[in-house]
Amino acid sequence: MSANSPAAVVVLAAGEGTRMKSATPKVLHEISGRSLVGHVLAAARELGPERLVVVVGHAREQVAAHVAAVDPAALTAVQEEQNGTGHAVRMALESLDGPVDGTVLVVCGDTPLLTGATLAALSRTHTADGNAVTVLTAEVPDATGYGRIVRDASGAVTGIVEHKDATEEQRAVREINSGVFAFDGRLLAEALGRVRTDNSQGEEYLPDVLGILRGDGHRVGASVAADHREIAGINNRVQLAEARAVLNARLLERAMLAGVTVVDPVSTLVDVTVEFGPDAVVHPGTQLLGATRVGEGAEVGPNTRLTDTAVGAGARVDNTVAVGAEVGEGASVGPFAYLRPGTRLGTGAKAGTYVEMKNATIGEGTKVPHLSYVGDATIGEFTNIGAASVFVNYDGESKHHTTVGSHCKTGSDNMFVAPVTIGDGAYTAAGSVITKDVPAGSLAVARGQQRNIGGWVARKRPGSAAAKAAEAAARKQVGED
Ligand code: UD1
Ligand code: CA
């Protein structure tokens, strides 16, 4: 909390958002790994407000539960009927015990691109100019639907008029009300009591407070946002996708300026919670989601989706899907690997092509290079698992664990039928179905003995191409002898 911290922030989130055409309340729709209202709360929190109140109405239980989950310190106020933005703020102030001395910031719950920096700048202007109210405005290419900022001949703000209530002349104005305000708390509470509903929507308009306070002789002002895209409210899914693109570009730009190579920002998606080490490289077609971290000098992608996955320094992850996995330093994953929750690859380990892992701890330098499933397993260090092996973990009722030691070499096409343990330094023969423990240093052979039935093709497939090839081979053998 700083000297510039507002006494309260009010987030308006009671509206239904019918234009989303969704069973999910508008403010709970997500972009870049966070709900719309979650983004607004995060921006508001950067200012360290004493109190933060979210006004809920439509689907209030669902919205309030979400707010409690993402920001447990936030308060909620219920607006039973959506009688307008002024009414919503009135409900918020009335829900607090006692009047609010100091600055009250009001923001909408559907403006996910708004930054803490912009809110802080508004709050600073408001305080420095000694205003009773300061509105955040923006020049937009198309002002349709927005409230317009009305200024007098000297350029001073005199009021805000809603699109529906505006004259033709006022509709030509491209400076709009962003819906974000800084107010003097006491003057706001008093003025809200005087807001009328004699407008085209029969609602209590919050912007009317500006005209009321000006009429009382108080200072009112406007702060123009540097980038109008920041204040964009989301009303439908087209705008949701547009906002996602703007936010994603912003996140990637920040990463690139911090020393991350993003080969193709347009095809790269990141959540706000993703972290990078220096010199990380992200190849095209990559989605980095949740609490994913890409370590120093690690390379991920192309065509990779990592969720809640930690990639160690210098590791390589190619054409892979991973969820809840840990990839050790210098480890190699893919192309075409699927790492499921609980996979932990040690330093320099490998999960190669067409390899699936789940709940598996793979030691340093151990390699599972080709076509294998490793589920519910612990493998030691510097072991090599042969191609096309399956850790048979499920007996139809429950899951069982397999332990393989260090410096083992298991043959190709092995089935490890859990629970089973392979000791350190052991070998297994190709094609083995391992159902019993293998002691350290042993070779396990668990497959049928080979039997060759001579002349079978000549007898059973006479005249066939195979028989002719066999005859030719026999003649050649005789010639050579
Ligand atoms: C509002 C402003 C308009 C501004 C625009 C910016 C008013 C009267 N108009 O218009 O000047 O240009 O925002 O986007 O304020 N809400 C409630 N309770 C209500 C009504 C609204 O909580 O009773 C919430 C909504 O959920 C939403 C926000 O307030 O988050 C804005 O409401 P909305 O109906 O979208 O306002 P606009 O008509 O867009
Ligand atoms: Ca409206």
For 165-193, what is the mean pLDDT? 97
Taking a C-beta distance cutoff of 8 angstroms, is the pair 432, 450 a contact? no
Taking a C-beta distance cutoff of 8 angstroms, is the pair 322, 306 a contact? yes
Atom of ligand 1 nearest to the CA of 146: 12
Assess whether the C-beta atom of 114 lies below 6 angstroms from ligand 1: no
What is the predicted pLDDT for the residue at 3?
Answer: 64
- Separation CA 481–CA 269 (nearest Å): 68
Residue 303, SS3 per DSSP: coil
- Separation CA 350–CA 348 (nearest Å): 7
- Separation CA 58–CA 66 (nearest Å): 13
Assess whether the C-beta atom of 125 lies below 6 angstroms from ligand 1: no
CA of 416 to the centre of ligand 1 (A): 62
For 463-467, what is the mean pLDDT? 98
Q: What is the pLDDT of residues 239-264, one digit of tens each?
A: 999 999 999 999 999 999 999 999 99
What is the predicted pLDDT for the residue at 374?
Answer: 98
pTM of the model as a whole: 0.93
Q: Is the peptide bond before 278 cis (omega within 30 degrees of 0)?
A: no
What is the predicted pLDDT for the residue at 231?
Answer: 93
- Separation CA 86–CA 106 (nearest Å): 10
CA of 183 to the centre of ligand 1 (A): 17
| Ligand 1 mutation target, pool 19, 108, 176, most atoms within 8 A of CB | 108
pLDDT at residue 82 is higher than 60: yes
Nearest to 131 by CA among 105, 162, 95: 105
What is the predicted pLDDT for the residue at 78?
Answer: 98
SS (H, E, C) 159-191: EEECHHHCCHHHHCCCEEEEEEEEEEHHHHHHH
Does residue 218 have an active-site annotation?
Answer: no
Taking a C-beta distance cutoff of 8 angstroms, is the pair 10, 55 a contact? yes
For 468-475, what is the mean pLDDT? 97
Quick one: tokens of 231? 């204040």
Q: What is the pLDDT of residues 314-368, one digit of tens each?
A: 999 999 999 999 999 999 999 999 999 999 999 999 999 999 999 999 999 999 9
- According to DSSP, residue 267 is labeled G
Nearest to 227 by CA among 112, 109, 115: 115
Q: Which ligand has the minimum distance to the alpha carbon of residue 17?
A: 1
Give the DSSP H or E segment for 281.
strand 281-282
**Phi, psi (deg, nearest 5) at residue 180:** -105, 130
Residue 134, SS3 per DSSP: strand
For 222-234, what is the mean pLDDT? 93
Q: How many CB atoms sit inside 10 A of residue 219's CB?
A: 15
Percentage of the chain lying above the pLDDT 70 cut: 99
CA of 395 to the centre of ligand 1 (A): 58
292: amino acid identity, one letter = T
Taking a C-beta distance cutoff of 8 angstroms, is the pair 318, 335 a contact? yes
CA of 85 to the centre of ligand 1 (A): 6
What is the predicted pLDDT for the residue at 244?
Answer: 98
| Average pLDDT of the chain to the nearest whole number | 97
Atom of ligand 1 nearest to the CA of 55: 22
Burial 352-361 (b: 16+ CB within 10 A, else e): bbbbbbbbbb
CA of 355 to the centre of ligand 1 (A): 51
Assess whether the C-beta atom of 233 lies below 6 angstroms from ligand 1: yes
CA of 5 to the centre of ligand 2 (A): 29
Atom of ligand 1 nearest to the CA of 79: 18
What is the predicted pLDDT for the residue at 481?
Answer: 76
In terms of DSSP H, where are the helices of 96-219? Answer: 116-128, 168-171, 185-192, 208-215
- 2: confidence class by pLDDT, cuts 50, 70, 90: low
Q: Which protein residue has the closest C-alpha to ligand 1 atom 36?
A: 85
Nearest to 326 by CA among 359, 304, 301, 289: 359
What is the predicted pLDDT for the residue at 479?
Answer: 83
Assess whether the C-beta atom of 131 lies below 6 angstroms from ligand 1: no
| Ligand 1 mutation target, pool 28, 85, 139, most atoms within 8 A of CB | 85
pLDDT at residue 1 is higher than 60: no
Assess whether the C-beta atom of 211 lies below 6 angstroms from ligand 1: no
